[in-house]
Amino acid sequence: MDIGSFRARETVMMCPHGHASFVAEQLRNLAPENGIFGFDVIVEVGYSLFVHCRNNQEVMAKLAAKNVFMSEREVSYLGRKFIIYLAIAHRKSQQQLRSFMTKNGGYILHLDGTCEGDSPNLFCGLDGISELVLDSIKIPSEKKDTLIPFFRGIKEKYGEPIALVHDMGKGIIAAVEEVFPHIADFICHFHFLRDIGKDLLLDDYTALQKRLRKLKVRPLLRQRAKYLEQKINPNSPGFAEIMASIDSGTWETNLFEHLPLITVYVLIHWVFEYPSQSKGYGFPFDRQHLNFYRRLQKIHHLLGQIMDSHLSATAKEHKPVFKFYEKFRKIVEDERLNILAASLERKAEVFDKLRKAMRIAEPDGKQGLNDEGDEVDMKNIEKNMVAFRKWLVSQKRRKTTYAGMAKQLDKYWVKLFADPIPVTTTDGVSYVYPQRTNNLLERFFRGEKQRSRKKSGTASLNKVLKSALADTPLVQNLNNSKYIEIILNGCQNLEERFSQIDAHLVQEEMKNAQNSSDKILPAIKKLVKNSDLTMNISALFSAA
């Protein structure tokens, strides 16, 4: 990186008796064997891609400014190489990491995975005390048989955890019971709420979403907004005053000619602002499609009131209000939509009552996935939950409707409200409630999605998970100065540490990663794009 490209001549010294050869150590410390780019370039690319979230073109431009030129494909290649070097350094530092966690009083193993569409599941084990990613793996699904070897590997490397925290996945629970049979086991409160909320609300919520799509509500709104936009002239007299009047709720103009037009246009965009009502927790805590429909109903009702009290529906200047009101009457009065919305709100009210009882991810909360719950004694939370369960089954109709919820509460009660875990550190004994949240991993996966969106411009994590190396989550640890100190193992920087790693080992892992990737062979990729593929295959077999 300091001088750009250069050509080196190396003199290799040979033992006259043929016992050994002596290479130039300085050169080996600059670049890996058979490598074109130096260790400092590899580290620069790795940090740019995974820590600073740059895309390939941005990395290329930044390097070019330092007289280092490479193709986009080489950027991706060096990014993968960085992950493999980091993973090897991590594995070689396991004893030191284990000692570090022992001084912290041990480690609390948080377990969670993420996938999207048909992507593999990227599953991680993370220490809840130091917040370090300990290990990660790509698996087809969270089944017991695939998780047991992964859990045993963590146990062998880092010893037994003082506690485990995870969601209610059957595969995870079964694997934990086999590998960690006598370890305190907790169900994460946040995950518990999310899973119970999905069970309660998902069917109605999905049906509402499908109904809105069938009635083409969004396309109709966008079409109406586009039509009105062409009619509005921002430079027309009184436009700014009308906007100010709408904003303040007091009249600041005497020019009312374009008021109905602008009002309807503003209200349509207010409907599309429905995500602002969400608190960042995701479904089922946030019900965005329900918020969207209720906003549409609200503006339709408002325009109806305006027409009744102030407007003549036949007047030319009032046509925007009248047309919108008539066009969307059928949608807001749709019986199926109203039944689904009412059912959702009834069930959501019960779910939100449960959130308040558990004192985490509450309806008024604004921290999203950073919410770790109120610092309340677990006995008080359990007391709230006893009262909630009693209320839930106190009425016959509620008891029938929410029987599944009551059953879930009973099933996981012990894992939800167990006593705190004493953690002995150099500073003394402290007590933690690890089950309050498993959001460490939720936040990590959200960060991965944000980074991939920033790099690729797409919100989907599907392709990223398919192409990412299993050890990619280890980059999260680079934000921890103590972790970097441990894996450097006395070296001044990562470049020096990477130079001590056997290049042949890296090449072997790069080869294995390439062989295990989910990429389609180039020749196959070209074939499947052929629109006549099935006809051609049919012709081939007919001829045969």
Q: Taking a C-beta distance cutoff of 8 angstroms, is the pair 487, 531 a contact?
A: no
Residues 147 and 241 in one domain: no
Res. 23 pLDDT band, cuts 50 70 90 = confident
Q: Which of 241-245, 305-309, 336-340, 355-359 has the highest mean pLDDT?
A: 336-340
Q: Is the backbone of residue 38 left (phi > 0), alpha (psi -120 to 50) or beta?
A: beta
Asked if residue 350 belongs to a domain, the reply is: no
Residues 245 and 299 in one domain: yes
Residues 81 and 117 in one domain: no
Cβ burial 364-380 (10 Å sphere, 16+ → b, else e): ebeebbebbbeeeebee
Asked if residue 130 belongs to a domain, the reply is: yes
Mean pLDDT value of segment 287-308: 90
**pLDDT, tens only, 505-532:** 999 988 887 765 555 556 666 666 777 7
Higher pLDDT, 310 or 186: 186
Mean pLDDT value of segment 106-129: 86
Res. 239 pLDDT band, cuts 50 70 90 = confident
User: What's residue 313's pLDDT?
Assistant: 45
User: What's residue 483's pLDDT?
Assistant: 96
User: What's residue 233's pLDDT?
Assistant: 78
Rounded Cα–Cα distance for residues 333 and 296 (Å): 11
Q: Taking a C-beta distance cutoff of 8 angstroms, is the pair 437, 188 a contact?
A: yes
Rounded Cα–Cα distance for residues 406 and 521 (Å): 51
Residues 226 and 319 in one domain: yes
User: What's residue 26's pLDDT?
Assistant: 85
Higher pLDDT, 531 or 177: 177
Residues 245 and 321 in one domain: yes
User: What's residue 150's pLDDT?
Assistant: 95
Angstrom distances, CA of residue 124 to CA of 149, 255, 441, 458:
13, 62, 8, 23
User: What's residue 314's pLDDT?
Assistant: 47
127: domain CATH number is 3.30.420.10
**pLDDT, tens only, 468-498:** 788 888 998 999 999 999 999 999 999 999 9
User: What's residue 17's pLDDT?
Assistant: 85
3-state secondary structure 322-377: HHHHHHCHHHHCCHHHHHHHHHHHHHHHHHHHHHHHHCCCCCCCCCHHHCCCCCCC
- 36 lies in which domain range? 27-92+471-524
Please say which residue of 393, 421, 451 terminates a domain. Answer: 451
Mean pLDDT value of segment 419-445: 72
**pLDDT, tens only, 32-78:** 988 889 999 999 999 998 888 888 899 999 999 988 999 999 999 99
Could you give the number of structural domains in the chain?
Answer: 3
Rounded Cα–Cα distance for residues 191 and 471 (Å): 24
Could you tell me what percent of the chain has a pLDDT over 90? 43
Rounded Cα–Cα distance for residues 195 and 201 (Å): 10
Residues 87 and 109 in one domain: no
User: What's residue 223's pLDDT?
Assistant: 92
**Which 8-state DSSP code applies to residue 19?**
S
**Enclosing H/E stretch for 184:** strand 184-187
pTM of the complete model: 0.77
Please say which residue of 423, 451, 479 terminates a domain. Answer: 451
Mean pLDDT value of segment 361-378: 75
Higher pLDDT, 366 or 106: 106
User: What's residue 336's pLDDT?
Assistant: 95
Mean pLDDT value of segment 279-302: 91
**Which 8-state DSSP code applies to residue 394?**
S
Mean pLDDT value of segment 128-150: 92
Residue 90 has pLDDT above 50, yes or no: yes
Res. 407 pLDDT band, cuts 50 70 90 = very high
Q: How many CB atoms lie within 10 A of CB 51?
A: 13
Tokens of 277: 């009502």
Asked if residue 144 belongs to a domain, the reply is: yes
Least confident residue range of 85-99, 105-119, 194-208, 328-342:
105-119
Residue 85 has pLDDT above 50, yes or no: yes
User: Considering only CA atoms, which of 485, 503, 513 is closest in space to residue 93?
Assistant: 485
Least confident residue range of 267-276, 333-342, 359-368, 421-430:
421-430
Residue 352 has pLDDT above 90, yes or no: yes
**Enclosing H/E stretch for 296:** helix 288-309
Asked if residue 6 belongs to a domain, the reply is: no
Residues 69 and 132 in one domain: no
Residue 153 has pLDDT above 50, yes or no: yes
Q: Taking a C-beta distance cutoff of 8 angstroms, is the pair 147, 161 a contact?
A: no
**Which 8-state DSSP code applies to residue 47?**
I
- Tokens 């749709």 appear where? 334
